[in-house]
Structures are given as C-alpha cells and as structure tokens.
C-alpha cells in the first residue's frame, strides 16, 4: 500500500507523524503523559519451546491516528525510515521499552528481556550505541535484559562498520538477533563473524509449515545452522499447534506468535507474569 500512496498522502502522513511525536519526545522517561499521545508500544511474549515459559517480549509500535485510526507499522516505518524520522521515533521506542521492562521488574514480577526492532537507518546512525547506553542508564535496566533485532539487509549495507557496532553492543552486554532471517541477502561467511545470540525465522517460512515441504526444509536448515554457530533460534508468527509441534520436534528453541499471544499492552504482560508466579 505504501507503493501506491501518492506523494501527497506521504507528506500528510509524515506531517502527522511529526506532530504525533512531539509530546512523546518531551518525556525522556519513556512515558507520554498527555492524553494526546498517539504512539504506543505493544509487547508480544516470547516463549521457550522446551519449558513453555515466557522469557522475553518484543516491543512493537502502534500509531493511533486521531482520524485514520490504527495505522500499521508496515505503513509508516518505511516512511519514517526514508525521512529520517525513524531516528527520534526509534529512540522513543527504545527508551519506552527499557523503562517499561524495568517497571515490571520494580513491580516484583519475574524478570523479562525486551527486544527492540532497529531499522537500517537507525542502525547506521553514529550515536546509536550512545543512545542505547543512555536508555539503559536512565531506566536502570541491565544491558543483559535488552536485545536489539536487526535485519540481515541492514547489517550488509556496510558490513565492516556493522560488525564494529555489533561488537560495541556485545561489549556493553546487549544481545543482538537477526530478524526476518532468510528473507534478505545474507552471506553465510559474514554470519559467522557476527557477535549475535539469536536467529529469528521469519513468519513467511512458518505460515505454511504444516503443508510446505520447502518451508519445512528451510526451517530445519536455519535451526541446524543456528545451532552449529552456537545461536539460539526463535520462530515468529506461530499460529497453530502443528507449527509449534513441528518446530519443537525439530529442536527450535523459542517461539512467538498468535498461538501463545498477540502483541498486547503492558498491563496484560504484567497480568501474565503475575499469573505465572502463582502457578
Ligand atoms: P517484525 O519485526 O518481523 O515483527 C513481526 C510482525 O508479525 C509484527 O507485526 C507482529 O505483530 C506480527 N505477528 C506476530 N505474531 C504473529 C502471528 O502469529 N501471525 C501473524 N500473521 N503475524 C504475527 P507488526 O507489529 O505489524 O510489525 C510489522 C513490522 O514493523 C515488524 O516486523 C517490524 O519490522 C516493524 N516494526 C514494528 N515495530 C517497530 C519499531 O518499534 N521499530 C522499527 N524500526 N520497526 C518496527
Ligand atoms: Ca522483529
Ligand atoms: Ca523485522
Ligand atoms: Ca518478520
């Protein structure tokens, strides 16, 4: 739909984004106090396939537009990326996710890790590592509780510099995972030099897992490649028990998807965690 959007539509959306972001950026503690806050983070649980435990969440942005209603990130992240607005927007996501995850900890809930999506332009930005360090320091979240999800194509844009940046994050204690693995252009020889902890099997390979022998082969290959490189492998977009059973039988480590939970507001995560204590 973004391809079809006219230049004018894009400009209107962009201007709306700028306006919507203003009150968010005033709050450095990751909370927008104004009722006018249009951006919101939802969190989708990540589940360990062996224990069934929720060990982390992925932060996913939503835009509640006053006139257009809920706008999918698929419609505005690309635009934010093109315009450079992804940098302040992404920083808001990062800070909000860190403060929220620390707030769950402060509330005495079982500690979770949080994953934040970082787009290509954000990943390339010079001050990324500094911004991450600031968000961790200001929120009090331990670096080990933060994971950055980045796509292969973002990394491959400037391989040498990316590896340098990944090393800096690793030295800080922040985990890195490769998002949408298998959908982009990636080099297996480069992969081995990445200081990453996880591969994420894209949901396009998971949706037909029950019927497609090709997708089964791809999922199995990614799992075994990941394990041989000492990485954990997570599958996204798991919607059915058959998909989960296949992944579990083939030694996939973790999953996320509608089968367990959709992305939900932070209060719902707190409830889930509280329920897991009394079990
Ligand atoms: P992604 O990082 O690959 O995230 C997975 C997408 O799949 C999310 O869509 C999630 O809601 C959806 N999903 C999760 N489980 C299932 C399932 O079982 N079935 C199906 N059909 N879908 C499932 P969402 O939230 O619309 O986000 C779309 C994309 O927008 C993300 O893809 C990510 O690339 C980008 N995005 C979202 N939030 C952010 C953000 O804060 N920053 C950046 N840079 N990008 C973001
Ligand atoms: Ca992701
Ligand atoms: Ca992605
Ligand atoms: Ca994906």
- Model confidence pLDDT, tens digit, residues 15-63: 999 999 988 888 777 666 556 689 999 999 999 999 999 999 999 999 9
pLDDT of residue 3: 56
Q: Is the CB of 151 under 6 A from ligand 1?
A: no
pLDDT of residue 35: 62
Tell me how far apart the alpha carbons of residues 143 and 152 are, in angstroms, rounded to a whole number. Answer: 22
Low-confidence ranges of the chain (pLDDT < 50): none
Interval between CA 262 and ligand 1 midpoint (Å): 10
Nearest residue by C-alpha to atom 17 in ligand 1: 237
Tell me how far apart the alpha carbons of residues 39 and 24 are, in angstroms, rounded to a whole number. Answer: 8
pLDDT of residue 164: 94
Q: Is the CB of 237 under 6 A from ligand 1?
A: yes
Closest CA to 269 of 32, 57, 51, 49: 57
27 Ramachandran zone, left/alpha/beta (phi>0; psi -120 to 50): beta
Tell me how far apart the alpha carbons of residues 16 and 226 are, in angstroms, rounded to a whole number. Answer: 41
Interval between CA 55 and ligand 1 midpoint (Å): 18
pLDDT of residue 5: 65
Q: Is the CB of 273 under 6 A from ligand 1?
A: no
- Those residues whose C-beta lies under 8 Å from the C-beta of residue 118, and which sit 6 or more positions away, are 90, 94, 128, 148, 149, 150, 154
Tell me how far apart the alpha carbons of residues 104 and 270 are, in angstroms, rounded to a whole number. Answer: 7
* 211: its two tokens: 């019927």
Interval between CA 60 and ligand 1 midpoint (Å): 6
Cα distances from 249 to residues 50, 51, 77, 151, 256, in angstroms, run 10, 14, 35, 26, 16
Could you identify the atom of ligand 1 that is nearest to the CA of residue 258? 18
pLDDT of residue 276: 87
pLDDT of residue 188: 80
* 82: its two tokens: 């093109």
Mutate which of 73, 79, 262 to test ligand 1's pocket (most atoms within 8 Å of Cβ)?
A: 73
pLDDT of residue 198: 97
Q: Give me the residues paired with residue 93 across strands.
A: none
CB 130 within 8 A of CB 97: no
């Amino acid at each position: 739909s973004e391809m079809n959007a006219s230049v004018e539509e894009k400009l209107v959306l962009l201007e709306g984004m700028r306006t919507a972001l203003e009150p968010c950026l005033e709050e450095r503690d990751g909370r927008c106090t104004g009722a006018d806050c249009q951006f919101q983070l939802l969190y989708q649980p990540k589940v360990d396939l062996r224990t069934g435990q929720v060990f982390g969440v992925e932060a996913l942005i939503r835009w509640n537009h006053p006139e257009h209603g809920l706008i999918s990130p698929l419609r505005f992240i690309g635009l934010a990326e093109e315009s450079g607005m992804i940098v302040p927007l992404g920083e808001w996501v990062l800070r909000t996710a860190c403060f929220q995850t620390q707030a769950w900890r402060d509330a005495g809930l079982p500690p979770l890790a949080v994953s934040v999506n970082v787009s290509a332009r954000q990943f390339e930005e010079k001050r990324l590592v500094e911004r991450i360090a600031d968000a961790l320091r200001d929120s009090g979240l331990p670096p080990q509780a933060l994971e950055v999800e980045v796509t292969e194509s973002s990394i491959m844009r400037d391989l040498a510099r990316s590896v340098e940046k990944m090393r800096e994050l690793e030295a800080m204690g922040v985990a890195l995972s490769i998002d949408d693995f298998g959908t982009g252009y990636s080099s297996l020889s480069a992969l081995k030099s990445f200081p990453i902890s996880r591969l994420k099997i894209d949901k396009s390979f998971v949706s037909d897992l029950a019927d497609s022998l090709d997708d089964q082969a791809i999922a199995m290959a990614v799992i075994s490649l990941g394990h041989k490189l000492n990485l954990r492998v997570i599958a996204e977009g798991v919607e059915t028990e058959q998909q989960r059973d296949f992944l579990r039988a083939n030694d996939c480590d973790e999953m996320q998807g509608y089968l367990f939970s959709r992305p939900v507001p932070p209060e719902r995560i707190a409830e889930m965690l509280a329920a897991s204590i009394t079990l």
